[in-house]
Amino acid sequence: MNIMEDLRVNEPWSLKGELTLSCNCEVFCPCVLSLGKSAPTEGYCQTWAAVRIDEGHFGGTDLSGIKFGFMAEIPGRLGRGNWTVALFVDDKASAYQTKALTWIMTGRAGCSTALLKILAGSFLGVRQVPISYEMQGDTRVIKIEKIVDGAITPVRGKDKGNVVIRNSEYWISPDIIVSRADKSRFRLFGRNWNFEGRSAEICKLDWGSQKK
């Protein structure tokens, strides 16, 4: 059976879960409110993210319980494109699940992630590796074996709740928990990033072919 023939790129799809992202912005990423029109605080963007899928499917392929991550390097304003990206998929994922996530995260599946097909100029490929996404209190502890070592904690607000940006048009999610990296290392593709103390985001994920 040929996976490319049996699984079609235009299948209906949905992902629900949580995303944690760490980047090199010094305070908080301006892209959330400017929607990529303002430059990152360092003038360029380096970022990694991890996703825990609680419920999901691509056509008849169940994606529930799978974790994946990605990295992006962007030379200036996000909206100008020329992104370099790579995808990391849970080593427990099947060939069908990996192909489905590849189509979603390269924008080929359209809808929620369609902009990636336009903005990503260089795709460094897909690697299947062990990925862990755990909670320690409010802190998200992320490990992508030999690539990412992260611990991301929400910023607390005045009423002891988290600082949250709500109802934005940010492509990842409308509601973003403002966070900070207690630890954030990325090592691969000749890159050796350390974003400790810098901007981070946590959000609920609700992507799919019915989303705009």
- Give the confidence band of 197 by pLDDT, cuts at 50, 70, 90: very high
Task: Taking residues 39-62, report their average pLDDT.
Answer: 95
Task: Check pLDDT > 80 for residue 107.
Answer: yes
Determine the Cα angle at 103 with ends 100 and 120, to 5°: 150
Which pTM value belongs to this model? 0.93
